[in-house]
């Protein structure tokens, strides 16, 4: 009798192990090694494919001005003085670059995706990484050269698969990483911008009046040409006889 009970318990335990989801707790373990520490300021250096670039911080442009970014999507440089809310927001429209970059300066991670090449299932997977998660935002990005692109300040990772483990690794390494973004402690809430009606993406190339990524103003337009001088008066007509 006792032997039968023991066998039943062992069998139940084995069955439980077989039924336990293979990834239960796995995501946490897999990404913990990419959490920044005092000895490892930027764990993203161990993530294959991450592009890094240094940018000046705190350089603002006005809401009617554009920046000629050299990366698409941009991930640093001059930006709008008002940041997009990054409190786990999934924007359903393409958002203005200059406002999104300011959110990165506050420590957020921005997941951009190409709505033409990432299917609904892939978007749902990414939404699970974003919605209601602090210092996260997500948006479509028309014309993106890959299905997915992740941005933090000074860092970018382009991917094809929403289930790629590097998505979670990038977020673990760089979201609110005090060593890699300029403004630790800055808020992601912004009551000045409505998440349901954000500043919109401009698909047109920046014009000659755009600022550089370093915040250098465009050169002033050349002065208007001086009007041509009036011709000298002709000789007085001869008096009539």
pLDDT digits (tens, 9 = 90+) for 146-184: 999 999 999 999 999 999 999 999 999 999 999 999 999
- 3-state SS string for the chain: CHHHHHHHHHHHHHHHHHHCCCCCCHHHHHHHCCCCCCCCCCHHHHCCCCEECCCCCCCEECCCCCECCCCCCCCCCCEECCCCCCEEEECCCCECHHHHHHHHHCCCEEEEECCCCCCHHHHHHHHHHHCCCCCEEEEECCCCCCCEEEEECCEEEEECCCCCCHHHHHHHHHCCCCCCCCCCCCCCCCCCCCCCCCCECCCCCCCCCCECCCCCCCCCCCCCCCCCCCCCCCCCCCCCC
Structure tokens at 189: 């809430």
pLDDT at position 25 over 50: no
- Closest by CA to 105, choosing from 213, 198, 187, is 187
> Which burial class, exposed, middle or buried, applies to 216 when counting CB atoms under 10 A from its CB (0-12, 13-18, 19+)?
exposed
The radius of gyration computed from the CA coordinates of the chain, to the nearest angstrom, equals: 28
Exposed, middle or buried by CB within 10 Å (0-12, 13-18, 19+), for 100?
Answer: buried
Question: pLDDT band at residue 28, thresholds of 50, 70 and 90?
Answer: low
pLDDT at 32: 87
Q: Catalogue all structural domains in the chain, each as residue range(s) with its CATH number.
A: 43-60+69-201 (3.40.30)
Percentage of residues in the chain having pLDDT higher than 70: 86
| Residue 86 scores a pLDDT above 50 | yes
Q: How far apart are CA 204 and CA 140, in angstroms?
A: 16
Instruction: Record the pTM.
Output: 0.81
What's the pLDDT score for residue 220?
79
- Sign of the C-alpha dihedral, residues 195, 162, 133, 97? negative
pLDDT digits 0-9 by tens, 47-65: 999 999 999 999 999 999 9
The percent of residues in the chain predicted with pLDDT above 90, rounded, is 76
For residue 227, what pLDDT band results from cuts at 50, 70 and 90? confident
Question: Between residues 208 and 236, which one has the greater pLDDT?
Answer: 208
How many angstroms separate the CA atoms of 203 and 201, rounded? Answer: 6
Q: How does residue 240 score in pLDDT terms, banded at 50, 70 and 90?
A: confident
Residues 6+ apart with CB under 8 A from 230: none
Say which residue, 221 or 211, is predicted with more confidence: 211
What is the bridge-based pairing of β-strands 136-140 and 148-152?
unpaired
Backbone angles phi, psi at 217, to 5 degrees: -70, 150
Q: What is the pLDDT of residues 101-125, one digit of tens each?
A: 999 999 999 999 999 999 999 999 9
Nearest to 128 by CA among 29, 27, 47: 27
């Amino acid at each position: 009798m006792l032997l039968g009970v023991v066998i039943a318990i062992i069998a139940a335990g084995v069955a439980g192990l077989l039924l336990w989801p293979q990834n239960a707790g796995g995501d946490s373990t897999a990404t913990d090694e990419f959490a920044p520490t005092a000895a490892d300021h930027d764990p993203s250096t161990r993530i294959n494919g991450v592009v890094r670039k240094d940018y000046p911080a705190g350089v603002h442009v006005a809401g009617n001005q554009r920046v000629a970014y050299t990366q698409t999507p941009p991930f640093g440089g001059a930006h709008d003085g008002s940041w997009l809310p990054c409190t786990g927001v999934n924007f359903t429209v393409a958002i203005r670059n200059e406002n999104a970059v300011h959110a990165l300066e506050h420590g957020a991670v921005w997941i951009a995706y190409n709505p033409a090449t990432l299917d609904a299932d892939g978007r749902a997977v990414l939404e699970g990484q974003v919605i209601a998660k602090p210092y996260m935002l997500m948006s479509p990005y028309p014309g993106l050269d890959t299905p997915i692109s992740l941005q933090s300040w000074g860092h970018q990772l382009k991917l094809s698969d929403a289930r790629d483990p590097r998505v979670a690794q990038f977020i673990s390494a760089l979201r609110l990483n005090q060593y890699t973004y300029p403004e630790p402690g800055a808020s992601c809430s912004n009551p000045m911008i409505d998440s349901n009606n954000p500043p919109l993406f401009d698909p047109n190339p920046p014009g000659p009046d755009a600022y550089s990524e370093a915040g250098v103003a465009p050169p002033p337009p050349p002065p208007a040409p001086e009007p041509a001088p009036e011709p000298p008066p002709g000789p007085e007509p001869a008096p009539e006889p």
